[in-house]
Amino acid sequence: MRILFLDQFPTLGGGQRILVDVAESFAADGHEVTVGLPPPGDGPAEVAGELERRGISHVEFSLPKLTAGSKGLKDALLLSLSTASLRRQLRSLVAAKKIDLIYVNGPRWLPAAVLAGKPVIAAIHLIHKGMERRLLESCFNRPNVKLVTFCSRFAAAPFQTPKALIVPNWVSPAILDAPNVREAMRASLKLEPDQVAVGVLGRISPNKGQAFLIEALAPILGPGLRLFVAGTPDHEAPSPLPSNPFVTELGKVDPAPFLDAMDILVVPTLVEEAFGLTAAEAMARGLSVVATRSGGLSEIVVHGETGFLTEKSASEISDAVATLARDVDKRHKMGEAGHKRISETYTVATRLPEIKTEIERRLS
């Protein structure tokens, strides 16, 4: 089978890491796999680089530039006007490569993919409401859309489709199985054994809450408790972070070594998160997690067992971090529980077969 995978971002976020794993697995099964991506001009070409590393071919498509976050009428109009162009691009490639199946990772591609005339699998990793939800639901109702996978119950809740399959995202083996390099990484960050390192990992944007976290933790940060911000600015909504002498911005990092150096991982997202892969990755590396009660995060972090869930409140986040910072035994116990939970539930071995089996069933 010849499969075309489509993603709307060139940067390697949680949904994109899942797509790369899925594409690699189908390629390993002997299917002919191609991945379509936006050009690097729309952001760092991280997905393309990862695909090249794994030996998977990719092509570039032009996509409309929409505003970050919730989409308004202007975005809907722009997407509608661009659908005909996207459809032509897709039909040309589908004909040239004799594509049998289109796997869409991201809603900007979905209307054009549906109109391309081939069976479609839609993977939903974001929260959609209002006009977006109605547009997607109309696509889901088309007969050539065979399956819609959702990364959490929360992401699936706005939709009523019999084609739904809830398959939580998983932690990539590259992160789950990587050797622990805690001592070397802490040395590189000039961290003493008794210093507590708090980390936040992901795209830097107002919605992800890094600036909010810096301000929330400002009263308790100091020489013994430092915050490390890992990630690059969101190319759609860049924003500077507040200055603090006990906050270090690291830019792009390799997730596993970064997490090894940390003692606590905070996920301070201020919007509803469809899943929250960084929380799962931190748990996989044995960290206790503090996360806001945001969408799918509440399905991953077990409050009081693998970490703490808080409201989107500066004082609650600060109190949770302070509690873990002064109680090393609690941190270790929660970290062990988190690693066990991820190893048993959120892995390629437990989740990817669900998708592949259901795709085969729906196409038969």
Show pLDDT as tens, one digit a residue, over the chain (364 residues): 999 999 988 888 788 888 999 999 999 999 999 999 988 765 678 899 999 999 999 998 876 665 555 555 666 666 666 777 788 888 888 999 999 999 999 787 888 899 988 999 999 988 887 777 888 899 999 999 999 999 999 999 999 899 999 999 999 888 999 999 999 999 999 999 999 999 999 989 898 999 999 999 999 999 999 999 999 887 655 668 999 999 999 999 999 999 999 999 999 999 999 999 999 999 999 999 999 999 999 999 999 999 999 999 999 999 999 999 999 999 999 999 999 999 999 999 999 999 999 999 999 8
Distance, in Å, from the CA atom of 238 to the CA atom of 23, rounded to the nearest integer, reads 30
Residue among 18, 94, 108 at smallest CA distance from 62: 108
E strands present in 40-100: 57-60
* In contact, 104 and 118? CB cutoff 8 Å: no
* Angle between helices 46-53 and 14-28 in degrees, nearest 10: 30
Distance, in Å, from the CA atom of 308 to the CA atom of 253, rounded to the nearest integer, reads 25
* In contact, 5 and 33? CB cutoff 8 Å: yes
Instruction: Please give the backbone phi and psi of residue 228, each rounded to the nearest 5 degrees, phi first.
Output: -120, 125
Distances (CA, A) of 3 to 93, 104, 118, 162: 11, 11, 10, 23
Residue type present at position 169: N
pLDDT at 76: 62
Residue 67: strand, helix, or coil: coil
Domains of the chain, earliest start first: 2-170+348-363 (3.40.50.2000), 173-345 (3.40.50.2000)
Distance, in Å, from the CA atom of 101 to the CA atom of 59, rounded to the nearest integer, reads 16
pLDDT at 268: 97
Distance, in Å, from the CA atom of 332 to the CA atom of 309, rounded to the nearest integer, reads 17
pTM for this entry: 0.88
Distance, in Å, from the CA atom of 283 to the CA atom of 317, rounded to the nearest integer, reads 18
pLDDT at 50: 93
Residue among 125, 120, 169, 167 at smallest CA distance from 147: 120
Distances (CA, A) of 107 to 97, 117, 213, 269, 289: 23, 17, 30, 21, 30
Report which secondary-structure segment, H or E, holds 101.
strand 101-105
| Token pair of 167 as six digits | 């398959």
Find the radius of gyration of the CA atoms of the chain: 21
